[in-house]
């Protein structure tokens, strides 16, 4: 359980104490991952299924590795070769997995609210691995873990989230999570890629990258989500890169020890240059590493139905 919930559907529903416990358990799991043998018995006898209706490399693989490292049975439904192709609905597919005894089902879907709908109708715990443009809670939690690890704290930091805010579930989850943990959040990007109601989430909003980056401790640079852009939101990739991309010249607006993050996959040369993505400022590889530890912590917590929720190694 996380708090008193059987599912992890979004950061919006979590209390700061829930987030703190997830980060604490993730630190324990990271310690486990650094040992010679990564195998733990934490999820022995449990089964974990990934059900992804959208493409993924990091999220799906890290959940599968996390489950296997903790001795769970892990399986994946490949939507392209499943009965979804014969017209089976999301709910019937999830109910089928539930009926086979899955303890945790991890769902990615293009429709906002899809994991929430499934969660109400199955016994298994559901983890939202990204629902449309709504939330990507596990990405946000691994981002928080990385910030805490690199900066020693989250409270009081200025975090600039820049790029395609409008189509980003990562932005939404991070705006909720960072503010719950006491950070100041600024978002920046072209006005066409800033949702009209974004101020209502309590963040500072800028239509220029330098203003958003000013004195930032952390930059979360977002991918241009071309697959969700039904019309031309920017004149061209070249102009987007020139006016809004993150390059070495723009880093000078941030603090000298700024941490640069990106959820991946990266469009090199569009939202970020390779010089910055591969620089000493960048924590992109650490984010990927930490994704496994954070997802181990989440599987552990959701698989437990009672007793202490704090992991020991």
Residue 263 contacts ligand CP per CB under 6 A: yes
Structure tokens at 21: 């416990």
Residue 264 contacts ligand CP per CB under 6 A: yes
- Which of 29-37, 38-46, 55-63, 244-252 is the region at the interface with ligand CP (rule: CB under 6 A)? 55-63
Residue 237 contacts ligand CP per CB under 6 A: no
Instruction: Specify the residue, 58 or 180, whose C-beta has the smaller distance to ligand CP.
Output: 58
| From 121, 257, 265, 313, residue interacting with ligand CP (rule: CB under 6 A) | 265
Instruction: Specify the residue, 59 or 148, whose C-beta has the smaller distance to ligand CP.
Output: 59
Minimal distance, residue 154 CB to ligand CP, in Å: 19
Instruction: Specify the residue, 222 or 234, whose C-beta has the smaller distance to ligand CP.
Output: 222
| From 134, 139, 173, 209, residue interacting with ligand CP (rule: CB under 6 A) | 139
Residue 190 contacts ligand CP per CB under 6 A: no
Q: How far, in Å, CA of 46 to CA of 30, rounded?
A: 21
Residue 221 contacts ligand CP per CB under 6 A: no
Window 101-130: contact mask with ligand CP (x via CB under 6 A):
-----------------------------x
Minimal distance, residue 301 CB to ligand CP, in Å: 20
CB 59 within 8 A of CB 217: no
CB-count exposure of residue 102 (10 Å: 0-12, 13-18, 19+): buried
Minimal distance, residue 87 CB to ligand CP, in Å: 26
**DSSP type of residue 308:** -
Give me the residues paired with residue 219 across strands: 160, 260
Size of the site for ligand CP (CB under 6 A): 9
Give the position of tokens 């991946």: 264
Residue 290 contacts ligand CP per CB under 6 A: no
Instruction: Specify the residue, 40 or 168, whose C-beta has the smaller distance to ligand CP.
Output: 168
How many C-beta atoms lie closer than 10 Å to residue 44's C-beta?
10
Structure tokens at 261: 């993050």
Minimal distance, residue 139 CB to ligand CP, in Å: 5
**CA quadruple 220, 225, 230, 235: dihedral positive or negative?**
positive
Q: How far, in Å, CA of 14 to CA of 26, rounded?
A: 16
Minimal distance, residue 220 CB to ligand CP, in Å: 11
- Which of 31-39, 184-192, 257-265, 272-280 is the region at the interface with ligand CP (rule: CB under 6 A)? 257-265
Minimal distance, residue 68 CB to ligand CP, in Å: 17
CA atoms within 13 A on the CB side of 277: 17
CB 216 within 8 A of CB 188: no
3-state secondary structure 30-50: HHHHCCCCCCCCCCCCCEEEE
Minimal distance, residue 293 CB to ligand CP, in Å: 15
CB 292 within 8 A of CB 62: yes
| From 30, 46, 58, 295, residue interacting with ligand CP (rule: CB under 6 A) | 58
CB 137 within 8 A of CB 18: no
CB-count exposure of residue 132 (10 Å: 0-12, 13-18, 19+): middle
Minimal distance, residue 138 CB to ligand CP, in Å: 8
Interface positions with ligand CP (CB under 6 A):
56-59, 130, 139, 263-265
């Amino acid at each position: 359980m996380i708090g008193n919930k059987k599912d992890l559907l979004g950061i919006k529903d979590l209390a700061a104490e829930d987030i703190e416990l997830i980060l604490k358990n993730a630190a324990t799991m990271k310690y486990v991952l650094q040992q010679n043998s990564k195998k733990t018995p934490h999820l022995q006898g449990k089964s974990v299924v990934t059900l992804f209706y959208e493409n993924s490399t990091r999220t799906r693989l890290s959940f599968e590795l996390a489950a296997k490292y903790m001795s769970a049975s892990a399986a994946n439904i490949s939507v392209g070769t499943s009965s979804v192709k014969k017209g089976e609905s999301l709910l019937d597919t999830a109910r089928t997995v539930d009926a086979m005894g899955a303890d945790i089902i991890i769902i990615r879907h293009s429709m906002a609210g899809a994991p929430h709908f499934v969660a109400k109708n199955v016994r298994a715990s559901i983890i939202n691995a990204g629902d449309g443009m709504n939330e990507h809670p596990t990405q946000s939690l691994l981002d928080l873990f990385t910030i805490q690890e690199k900066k020693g704290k989250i409270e009081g930091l200025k975090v600039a989230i820049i790029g395609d805010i409008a189509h980003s579930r990562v932005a939404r989850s991070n705006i909720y999570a960072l503010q719950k943990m006491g950070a100041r959040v600024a978002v920046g990007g072209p006005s066409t890629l800033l949702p009209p109601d974004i101020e209502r989430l309590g963040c500072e909003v800028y239509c220029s990258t330098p203003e958003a980056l000013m004195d930032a401790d952390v930059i979360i640079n977002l991918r241009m989500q071309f697959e969700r852009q039904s019309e031309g939101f920017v004149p061209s990739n070249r102009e987007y890169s020139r006016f809004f991309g993150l390059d070495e010249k723009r880093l000078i607006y941030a603090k000298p020890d700024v941490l640069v993050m990106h959820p991946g996959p990266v469009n090199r040369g569009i939202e970020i240059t390779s010089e910055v993505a591969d620089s000493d400022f960048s924590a992109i590889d650490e984010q990927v590493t930490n994704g496994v530890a954070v997802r181990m912590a989440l599987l552990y917590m959701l698989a437990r139905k009672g007793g202490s929720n704090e992991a020991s190694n």
